Every structure is written in structure tokens, then in C-alpha cells.
Structure 1
Amino acid sequence: MFKHDWLVVIMDTDSQQEHIFINDREAHNEFYNQHKNDIWIGFNSNGYDRYILKSLVCGFDPKVVNDFIIEQRKKGWEFSRTFNKIQLFNYDVMVNRAYSLKQLEAFMGHDIRETTVSFDIDRKLTEQELQEVIFYCRHDVQETMQVFSHQLGEFQAQMALVNEFKLPLRNISKTQAQLSATILAATKLPKEITEQNDISFPSTMKISKYTQVVDFFKNYSEENKELSTTISGVPHKFGGGGIHGAIPKYQFECGPDEYMIMADVDQLYPTLMIVYDLLSRAVSQPEKFENILSTSLELKAAGKKKEREPYKRICNITYGSEGDKYNAMYDPRNRLLVCIFGQLLLLDLIEKLEHIPSMKLIQSNTDGILVRIKKNDFQLFDDIVFEWEERTKLHMSFDFYKKIYQKDVNNYIVIDYDGKHKSKGAYVKKLSPLDYDLPIVNEAVIKYFVDGTRVKKTINQCNELIKFQKVTKISGKFEYAIYGKRRQSERVFRLFASKNGKQLMKVKNGTPQKIGYTPESCKIDNSDVTNKAVPDWLDREWYVKVAKKRIKDFLG
């Protein structure tokens, strides 16, 4: 969108044709009318593109609408009520708002070079400028298709919700939280109800030892919203975000007479909402949510993962929606109580498990605990959990693991008896094509813990350049970036540690600042790296040091 020119690129996946409209409102609108019953897909299209499209259909100046959204930072729907009359089944692939399209392109290893044509040009574009803009606009639409293909499961889940609950197709444009509110027929609560903050406790709770936690929640407030204390010899924190406790820098391997058990509550928050009447008070048909939860658990037990997905989604989203003031299910008091009930009932269980002589608590998290016990104490463990389940009406599932390496409650890796691992945390998380930052370091750390592979071996044997990429973005808080002494026009960079490179820095008020977690000597390669081999200039030792530092953070 420019002052005197505008350009739209549309790729039709049915006909496999590309359509480019340049300052041609009539042709654009004809295409829209031919396809207005189809689903339109874009990146951040909920916030921007659909309003530009609608402005063309309505006869408005699209540059004025563009400036209303970009320069004035207003919502597109605020511009005109006429937009509501234009049918558009829009699906936005910007699922993770932490990343821009350019960052996702970088993670995928694709070309992320920007157009050199300024959006502030105060004249008609030259033919050469126009061709460059077309090239980059086409590229971004192609990349949006790639992002969509990697997030196809999200789209299918969205369609499953629309189809399963017989909603009009226009609901495809909503977030899944908004869909849940629609499905549950929620009506926004009056302010006097949402401002209630009375605290209550589950009637089934039996806590006699760790009463300091109960007392803390009795006096819970904005000024008193976190408690640090020791539970079963492990440092814990309680508050509005759930129970968090873990032995720091902990590693353990089961002996032949031991079990390590991860006991998780199935659908903890949704179950608490039903059993303890903590579903948002804005929901007019709570029995509908109860049926959805029941169906979700039945399909899980039957192993029907695909059929379960829409039901599971609603169960998982509803809790978060209670804390979203823009959602019809907004009910902050009930959301807080769900969180408090969950923490207290897990604390209740830990207190009872302390009667087992060999029980050692390793970690507590939002919906479960990890413990080690002697095998001959398993029956007692199972009996205590069963009694707790009967009393609280919650249900637990057990998973057994052989080894654990734990940095803290948010960073750990556990390995089962088949050598398969489960991990959590930035250092060891499972990567994807849309989250592919320093993958070689992630791989080296995991291989070290899972099968004892030396870090240098993993890093030195890899010849795929993409695995060494570090993607960084210069946020809007900074004016620009400099590489060495040269100012850069781009804001997203793909970096590689180099033996003979320069440093990339961000600039604010004329002062360069270091960019965290980036090599001081690096090279920038914003071209496509998907099939590139590792060059001689790559500084593999930098990646070795990063991996070893992360391992040390785990082991202490």
C-alpha cells in the first residue's frame, strides 16, 4: 500500500492460479464477488488484510484505511460499520503472535530479504519499483501458504469446531477462545460481578500440615499474590499462576527396585469447573460444557485422537477465556478459584503421599507431580491416589520414567524405559519448522542426555547450515540495526557464528546495544539456506560452548 499505488496478490489453491491486481478496483471486486463464498487465508489478515479488501469492495480509499490501522494504531472494524456488511470468510494463520511472518520464513530457512522500495514514497512507483514490490508481495503470499501447510492441524481443529457444533462458516474468522464462548452461549457479565474477588476453598480438601498455604490464599490479593515455601523438602511457589516446585539441578536414574512416576490429573481445570461449579458464570448452559468434557474424556479413553480434538480444544481454552476481559466468558473470580482449587488439591495429595516411607517428591506443576518410590511401596501409592480421586472427584494417569535431568520445574527432560524422551523448556523443547532457532544446540543437548553423545561429536558431524541458524528480530523499541559500522535496512536477521565476522547490534537513541544470545562475531545470510552446506568460516566452537553452558545449567 503506497500513497499513489496499491497492489493485491491472491493465490487460488483450487485453480492453482495467481492473481495480481494493481490499482484495479473493478477487477479486484469482480474476483471477490466470484469467490466470496470461499475461505480466504492470510497472515495477520484479521488485523489488516481483510479491512483493506473490504475497503476496496466498499469504495473507500484503501490508503486511508491503511493509515488508520498502521499509523493511528486503530482497529480496522472501528473505521466503518459498513465493513460488517461485507461477507468474508477469513482464516488468519498468525496463530503464534510472538513471531512475524519474516521470522517464520527465517525459521523455515527461506529467503527473508526485504524490498528496497520505501512505503513512504510520495509519488507514483516507477515500473522497476513496481516489479520489485510485486516480487516481494508474491513471495510473502507463497510463504503464507507454507506457514498454513505447517499449521494445517490448527485449521482442521478450527473447522472441526465449526462443523461439530453446527456454527455458520463466518465463525472461521474467530479465535478459538471466541468460538468457545459462542459454542457455550456465553453472555458478558455485568461489571459488578466481574469485580467480585471473594475466596473460597474446595469442600473436599483435607490439609493439616501445610496450613501456611491455605492461610496465604485466605489473604490472597494483588499485594500478596505469591508464596514461596518448602513442601516435602522441595522449594515451591504458590499464586495466581499455579503450583510450581522442583528440586533444582537434579538428575536421577531408577535402580532395579525403584519407580519414577509422573502422575497427571486428566483435564484438571475443566474438571474443577464442573465438579466445583467454577465454570464462567457467563455461560448460560453449563450442562453443555459438562457434556463436552465427558465426550473428550471418553474419546481419549477410546484412543480416538482426531475425533477428540474439537472437544479437547474447548476444554483447554475455557479456563484462559475466563481471564480474558475481551471474551464473553470473562469471569476473573472463577478463574482464580479454579487455579487455587487445583493447587490446594495437589498439595492435599502430596501431604498424604508423605506417609509413604520411600516417597521423594521431584517436582510439582500445574496439573501433576513427579515422584520416586520403592517398587514395594507402589500399592500404597496407588491406594492413596485412589482415595484422593474418590474424595476430590479428580482422576489421575501414571507414566513411568527411568531417568530425569531437571534444571527447574520449567526445564527438564525425562527418559522412559524404551529410550524415548519427553522434554520441557527452551533448551530441550521439541522444535518445528516454524520454531527452528539454534537447532544444532538443542539437538546436541538432547543427545547428550538421552544417549550420552558428546556435544562436539553432534556439532562437528553436522553439515546442514540451517541447523546453525540464529534468528533475531530488532523490535520497534529500536531504530535500526548495525552490522559492524554499516546501518541495516532489514529488521529480521539470520545469523551464523563466524571465525572472521562482525557484530550485529541494535541502536536506540544513537547508542548501539548488544543483542542477547547472538555471537559477537557473526555473518548474516538472509537468502535461502535450506540446502546449503556448512562453510569453512563457520565457528563451530561457539555452538559447542553454548550447548555445554546449557548442559551445565541443568547439572550445576
Structure 2
Amino acid sequence: MFTFYWLLQNESSFTAVLKTENEVQVITDRESLKKALDSVSYLVSFGNYSTMDKQFALLLSNNKSKYLQKNISIDLSQELGNKTIEEIGFRLGHDLKAKTAKDFCQKRIEICEYIFSKREEYLESKFQIVKEFDLDPRFVMKTRAGLAAEVLKAKKQPKTPNVLMYDYDKRIYLNELPEKLINFYNNIKKQYIIDKDEKIKSEKIKMTLCGLTHTFGFGGVHAAKEKYKGSGDFLLIDVRQFFPSLILNNNFLSHAVKEKQLYKKLYDKKVDTGQETYKVLIAAVNGAMNNSYSNLYDPQKFYAVTVNGQLIITHLIMLLENFIEELIQTNTDGILVKINPAFESLINDLLSRWSEHYELDLKVTKIKNVWQRDVNNYILEKTAGEFIKKGIYSDVDYLSSAIPVIPAALNAYMLKGIKPQTFLIDVFKSEAIGQFYYIGKIARGYDAIEQQVGRSYKKLNNTVCGIATSNKKLGGIYQTKNDLHSKLPGSPVHFLPYDRATKKDIDMSWYVEEVEKFIF
């Protein structure tokens, strides 16, 4: 059913490798390619929508069309952010050096097969949506937001000068919220009505709530106690399906959707069945309303959701303020609080009343230990012993950009008290060199990556992998633009590419310093 492929092309020739469960084909001529694709149901690759699919189409059509006419393809990079196949390959420990075009393609197909196995649930949800709603089979190529637009029969509307003319949720008692905060949003709206200048949406206001400085604007509200460690009784209070619920409760759905009942049907089916298909669809809608390429585009409704979300979370904080010991963290759809167990029953009653008033569903998780560097980097230990890890403390997987040994060392220190140097030496002795790999790639808008060697610079590939080395003859790695050099973020002072690196080349002191940056 699925055929993995990779294409390597130059000015005068090409090599395409197609792989199924049963065979591998290496193709170097147009007629053989055309014949092979006649029996393919789905082509699978990575980054192919922007490059290789178009190259295939041009080859098949004698340069007449950039679009595949007969084949449906799947791009495994879709909705993964700006990842490259080489980044993932290096993280998986693959050696990407190749002597032949065939070898080059096969090495990348191996990575595609791994990514496919990890994204089966994502892909299945798209196929299920297409089948469930009787959509064009080619729509499986769309993002989840694109599928949501199709299911809701959205017809793109011209942008209107009403972006910041948001309404408030009728359930909010504005007079019970901080006057300064309400005035901020009212004044933004009034100013926008006068001059229609959207730049005003970048305005922010800082306020202290429950002892924490909160920043409000037109995204999500965030606040956190920095460099905080605590043990005791904590409640992690999250609003389930927060933005989808606000959309439904207030008719904050894009004007592009004329049949509003379609969204409610999706929402109700999600609640009734719990199926991932419906959760995926309703969750995709809000972000799509702020995407100018989406048929659901309607920034006025998007900002109505984000503004009201911040006000409702603010009301939750104010409601609980006199009954909690500390507010530890505020995020887009919830809060973390420390409580006195004697007040837990009362707090639960308040939460029940709050959720009933706003017609929202809450999930409350009991936490016993908190390690929080800032709002984006923390570890929470549930009472049952499981961990919630975010940011630099997250466990490394095939999509992680962190050097594996660094979050591992941080977790060892935070949770077990193991000193960074001790942990790093143990990893050095017992594990593969890949635990020390730094992986970086060129950012959009830059020309190349270069390494300083002595007084000159050596050009490298656009995705690099290597270690921090004790060899001082090797310099750092830089992105270049207009002959100006900018250090690749997070890269070592002295860098040695992976294909020349051994454990004895590792500069352990650099890794210790990197870990200690995040210790508190």
C-alpha cells in the first residue's frame, strides 16, 4: 500500500529508489519510473511536497507540470516544524555518508520508515477523517487544519477591518476582574476602531496576580515562580479542550463556516466517543483561524478566543487566591497551585462551580514535587510517581534538538542529586558517543554554515552533527549571511564533526558548563 521513496537529481541525470515490503527498485530513466509509479498507491517520503514530488512530476510530464496527476503522496515532515531528514537521522545515530546515489537514497528511506512507524496515529487520524466524512482521497495530503476546513465546509472570506473588535464571553463578570486588565483590552479595542492599525496587537501588560507577575497580550497568559523547588500538596488544574469549548460556547467560530451546527456535531461526537479523529479536528480550528493560508482564516474570532481565555484563567486565579498557599505557574489553559490539604474539599467545590458557570471541563492532577526553572522548563512529579517534563528537562526522542546527555544529566541531578560531572563521566564510560552529539541546521534566510579553522572558514553541510572537542585548533560553527558570521545557537566553542570524532576528543568541561547553566 505504501511505497517509500527518495530522489536524487542533478542537471543531467537522476536516481530514484522506491521501496515496498517486498522489493527495492533503483530507477534512473523516465520510462522505468513511469512504469513503477503506475502500481503505487501511496508515495511516502520526507519534505517531498516542496521538492521531490515536483521533481517527479516534471520528470513524468517532460517538464510540463509540477503536480503529480495519478499518485497520492504523504509527506512525513508535515506538521513537524522545520525539521530536516538529516537532523532526525543524526539523532537516531545513522551514518549519513554515502558513496553512491543509491546509498544516499536508501539511507534516507530508512529514516523515513522509522518516522512513519512513530507517526502512525497521526497518519491514521487523517485517513479516518477522509473516510468518515467522505472527502476526496487526495485530501489525506492536507494538514489537520486543512481537513477541519473541508469537514466544516469553510469558504475563505476576504479579510475585514475588524481584527481586534472582539466580544467578551457573556459568562465573564468583567467588574470582578482587575480594572487595569479590562481597561487594557477595552482601550486596545477602542484605539483599533479609530485607526485600524493591527500593530497594536503586539501591546502587552504586566500585572501581579496571587504574587506572580503575569504578562497579558493577544496570545496566552504565562507566569511562573522562577528557580522554584517545592514538595507537598499541589494541584495541576487544566481546562480540557479549552479553546474548542470557548469557540462552541460563544460562537467564536470563523465566519468562513456558514453551517455552524457542523462544529457542534464534531464537538459532541468527540465528547460522546472520545475518538482521536474528532479531537484532532476540533483542536485544529483555533490555530487555523489565525493562519492566512487557511480557509478558516478569521483573526477576529481567533483573538476573541485568546483574549477571553486569558480573562477566564484570571478569574480562576482570583477565585482560588484566598484558599491556596501559592500560585506556582499559570499557562494558557491552566494553573499549578500549592494547597493545604485541609482546604482541598473546598477548592474542589469552587472548581466545580467555576467549571459549571463557564461550561468548561476541568482535569485536576495531584502533584507532590515541583522543580521549575521558569515557565517553559520544569519537572512535576505526580503523587503516583509519574513525571511531567517540559523544555530542557524533557526526555529526548527522535525529534529533540537537545544534546541527549544534557537533559539526562539535569534529570539525574534534579531527581537523584547526582552531580553533573559524575553523571557525564558515567555516560562517557558506558554509552555511545551519540549521547554527546550536538545537531544544528541552517536557519531560514542564511546562506551557509561554516566552521572557523585558524584564520579561515570551511564550509559545512546545512545540517551538522558533532561534539564539543578539546582540540583548540578547531573553532566554532557559524551561519553566514552577506559575509557576516553568526554563531549557530547552542553550538560548542570548538566543534568536531561526527565522522571524525571519538570519545577521547570530547571536551567534558564544555558539557558540564552547559548542564550547570540550567541548575538552580
The TM-score normalised by the length of structure 1 is 0.83
Q: Any idea what the Cα deviations from partners look like across 1:111-140, whole Å, max 9, x if unmatched?
A: 233x7xxxxxxxxxxxxxxx7333323322
Cα distance between partner residues in 2 of 1:416 and 1:109 = 33
The residue that corresponds to 1:492 in the other structure is 463
Asked if 1:189 corresponds to 2:157, the answer is: yes
Distance 1:516 1:57, change over 3 A: closer
Alpha-carbon offset, residue 196 of structure 1: 4.6
Q: Is the 8 A contact 1:236 1:244 kept in 2?
A: yes
Alpha-carbon offset, residue 511 of structure 1: 5.0
Read off the aligned partner of 1:102 and give its amino acid letter.
E
The residue that corresponds to 2:82 in the other structure is 98
Read off the aligned partner of 1:4 and give its amino acid letter.
S
Paired residue secondary structure (1:499): coil
Q: Is the 8 A contact 1:199 1:218 kept in 2?
A: no
Q: Is the 8 A contact 1:272 1:338 kept in 2?
A: yes
1:268 to 230, 236, 242: 242
1:320 to 279, 282, 287: 287
Q: Any idea what the Cα deviations from partners look like across 1:85-134, whole Å, max 9, x if unmatched?
A: x1221110013231111111111121233x7xxxxxxxxxxxxxxx7333
Show the 5 A alignment for 1:39-54. 39-54=42-57
Asked if 1:159 corresponds to 2:167, the answer is: no
Asked if 1:454 corresponds to 2:432, the answer is: no
Read off the aligned partner of 2:74 and give its amino acid letter.
Y
Q: Any idea what the Cα deviations from partners look like across 1:358-395, whole Å, max 9, x if unmatched?
A: 44211111111111111111122112212211211112
Paired residue secondary structure (2:50): coil
The residue that corresponds to 2:276 in the other structure is 309
Cα distance between partner residues in 1 of 2:219 and 2:147 = 24
Paired residue secondary structure (2:100): helix
Q: Is the 8 A contact 1:421 1:450 kept in 2?
A: no
The residue that corresponds to 1:87 in the other structure is 70
Question: How many residue pairs get matched?
Answer: 492
Alpha-carbon offset, residue 310 of structure 1: 1.3
Paired residue secondary structure (1:550): coil
Show the 5 A alignment for 1:232-251. 232-251=210-229
Show the 5 A alignment for 1:497-536. 497-500=468-471, 502-506=474-478, 507-526=480-499, 535-536=503-504
Cα distance between partner residues in 2 of 1:328 and 1:60 = 30
Read off the aligned partner of 1:92 and give its amino acid letter.
D
Q: Any idea what the Cα deviations from partners look like across 1:242-291, whole Å, max 9, x if unmatched?
A: 1111222222111xxxx210111110000111111111121233322222
The TM-score normalised by the length of structure 2 is 0.89
Q: Is the 8 A contact 1:107 1:437 kept in 2?
A: no
Distance 1:317 1:359, change over 3 A: same
2:410 to 445, 448, 454: 445
Asked if 1:374 corresponds to 2:340, the answer is: yes
Read off the aligned partner of 1:423 and give its amino acid letter.
K
Distance 1:423 1:92, change over 3 A: same
Q: Any idea what the Cα deviations from partners look like across 1:378-421, whole Å, max 9, x if unmatched?
A: 12211221221121111211001011111222221111223321
Alpha-carbon offset, residue 209 of structure 1: 4.6
2:170 to 199, 203, 214: 203
Cα distance between partner residues in 1 of 2:252 and 2:311 = 15
Paired residue secondary structure (1:170): helix
Alpha-carbon offset, residue 428 of structure 1: 0.9
Distance 1:298 1:430, change over 3 A: farther
The residue that corresponds to 2:327 in the other structure is 361
Identity of aligned residues (%): 23
The residue that corresponds to 2:14 in the other structure is 6
Read off the aligned partner of 1:478 and give its amino acid letter.
D
Show the 5 A alignment for 1:19-168. 19-22=25-28, 24-35=29-40, 38-60=41-63, 76=66, 83=67, 86-95=69-78, 96-113=80-97, 132-168=100-136
Measured on the aligned residues, the alpha-carbon RMSD in Å equals 2.2
Paired residue secondary structure (2:252): coil
Paired residue secondary structure (2:366): strand
Paired residue secondary structure (2:504): coil
Q: Is the 8 A contact 1:264 1:369 kept in 2?
A: yes
Moved over 6 A (4+): none
